[in-house]
Amino acid sequence: MSRFLVERDGKTHFRPMKGLELTAGQVVLTLLGIVALFAVPDITSATALSFSIIHQGILFGLAAVGLNLLLRHTELVSFGHAAFFGAGAYGVAVLSSHYEVSSGFLLLLGAIAVATVLALVIGYLVAGYLDIYFALLTLAFNQVLFAFVLQSGYFNYNDGLSVRVGGDRPSLLGIDQWLVATLGTDPITAYNYTLYYLTVVILLVMLVVTWKIVNSPFGRALDAIGQDRTRAQFIGIPVDRYVWIAFTLSGIYGGIAGGLFALLQLHVRPEPVLFVFVSGEILFMAILGGIGTLVGPIIGGIVLIYLLRLARFYVEYYHALTGIVLLLVVFVLPKGMLGTLPEISAGLDRRRQDPTLLRDDVTTIGASIRERLYRAVSTVRIIIFGVK
């Protein structure tokens, strides 16, 4: 056995680093996923899919991965994650428009710094709260920030700030200029593609980091906190401080995503990055993709952003379309799109081996519909005629 291969349960597992073991199938899926991520610009140029929307979806998905860290492990529902997304985006915008910073790297560092400070402050205040109080308190801070930015001249009110310095795009480590100079690429294309590949690299790094955090003793402690706070306290976990750290970490994801979003859009307005419904969307992306999975939030991000931003060009009633997709997820895919996949494939497998199961399915569905109709009729009868 080499350093990267281990034998477990009679199967060969691939081990890229300590603790992370993948079966052959998982390796293939991971590689496919990475290849797909890198091939997105080519796929979108060949098909009708929108490159910029997928890029945005990945960025929101990255914020959702951060939120999922909190949601999945400490079981805290944050309804204010747009605060960090917006803080990152505004960090970039303020640095470039007020201080004329043009290096994309420095801008992104600024975004991370702003989001971290904000997450530290908010996290300190909310770490002791639970359930709905936690959700509504984070929502309150999010909305205070939104209202403050919307009505402050420093942030240029509702019109927002531009990310360009003197009309130029920020430089992305010099890669985009190099592309323009040597290959003669169109500057806009060079900028967008470089930014996309930077995003993909950052995303992959963040996913590995997330995986590391989740499987560290710290991650286990978060799980314990999510299951039962009192018990976690008894076994010696400093609950409030750990929640505070987890909150800050998940805020940093939002800050990075927001900073990249500002670099992509080149203009930051309060509504698309800070409004409380953006917080909701980030939360729903995590649920849509599957809370129990690592990359689910990314898939959820791409799907939801696609539906919210682009469906309007195909159907008139695009809100309803998004709503119906979400309803289907709630009722048909209870663990999210990615989380339910194993169950669906197992079910299909069983039915392929034993086709008689299909007949049972049909009778079950028929019986449940009949029962619901009967109950609905009797409820209506009781409402109209009373119990007798």
Partner 1 sequence: MVESLVAHTLNGLYYGLILFMIASGMTIIFGVLGILNLAHGELYALGAFLVFSIVGFLTGLVAEPTGHFTAIIFAVVVLLGSLAAAAVLLPVGATLEAIFVRPIYEREDVYQLLLTYALLLIFIDVMKFGWGTSPVNTTVYSTLNEVPTTELVGFSYPSYNIIVILVGTVVFAWLVWFFDRTKTGRIVRATAINREMSTAIGVSTDRTFTLVFAMGAFFAGFGGAMASIGPGPAFLEMGLDPLVLSFVIIVIGGLGSLKGAFVAAILVGVISRWTVGVFNLPQLELAAPFILMAIILLLKPEGLYGTWGEIE
Which residues sit at the interface with partner 1, rule CB under 8 A?
71, 77, 125, 129, 131-133, 136-137, 139-141, 143-144, 146-148, 150-152, 276-277, 280, 283-284, 287-288, 291, 317-320, 322-327, 329-331, 334, 376, 379, 382-383
To partner 1, the closest distance from the beta carbon of 334 in angstroms equals 7
Which one, 45 or 379, has the nearer CB to partner 1?
379
Cβ partners under 8 Å of residue 69, min gap 6:
210, 213, 214, 222, 246, 249, 250, 253
DSSP output for 124-156: HHHTT--HHHHHHHHHHHHHHHHHHHHT-GGGT
To partner 1, the closest distance from the beta carbon of 319 in angstroms equals 4
To partner 1, the closest distance from the beta carbon of 263 in angstroms equals 28
Which one, 105 or 124, has the nearer CB to partner 1?
124
* Residue 275 per-residue DSSP state: S
Which one, 137 or 165, has the nearer CB to partner 1?
137
Which one, 126 or 263, has the nearer CB to partner 1?
126
What is the amino acid identity at position 335?
A: K
Cα 4 to Cα 17, 30, 79, 206, distances in angstroms: 8, 16, 41, 22
Cα 82 to Cα 272, 273, 324, distances in angstroms: 9, 6, 24
Which one, 32 or 376, has the nearer CB to partner 1?
376
Which one, 35 or 383, has the nearer CB to partner 1?
383
To partner 1, the closest distance from the beta carbon of 133 in angstroms equals 6
In this structure, are residues 137 and 129 in contact, taking their beta carbons and an 8 Å threshold? yes
- The sign of the dihedral angle between the CA atoms of 171, 309, 144, 138 is negative
In this structure, are residues 222 and 237 in contact, taking their beta carbons and an 8 Å threshold? no
To partner 1, the closest distance from the beta carbon of 103 in angstroms equals 33
Question: How far from chain centre, in Å, is Cα 227?
Answer: 23
To partner 1, the closest distance from the beta carbon of 385 in angstroms equals 14
In this structure, are residues 296 and 290 in contact, taking their beta carbons and an 8 Å threshold? yes
**Closest Cα to residue 307, out of 45, 57, 8?**
57
DSSP output for 162-182: E--BTTBPPBSTTHHHHHHHH
Which one, 207 or 333, has the nearer CB to partner 1?
333
To partner 1, the closest distance from the beta carbon of 44 in angstroms equals 26
Alpha-carbon span 146 to 86, nearest angstrom: 9
Which one, 9 or 316, has the nearer CB to partner 1?
316
Alpha-carbon span 344 to 226, nearest angstrom: 28
To partner 1, the closest distance from the beta carbon of 69 in angstroms equals 15
Which one, 59 or 276, has the nearer CB to partner 1?
276
Distant-in-sequence contacts of 151-154, Cβ < 8 A, 24+ apart: 154/94, 154/98
To partner 1, the closest distance from the beta carbon of 127 in angstroms equals 12
To partner 1, the closest distance from the beta carbon of 221 in angstroms equals 21
What is the amino acid identity at position 266?
A: L
Which one, 179 or 287, has the nearer CB to partner 1?
287
- Pairing assessment for the beta strands 161-162 and 267-268 based on DSSP bridges: antiparallel
Cβ partners under 8 Å of residue 334, min gap 6:
340
CB neighbours of residue 152 within 10 Å: 11
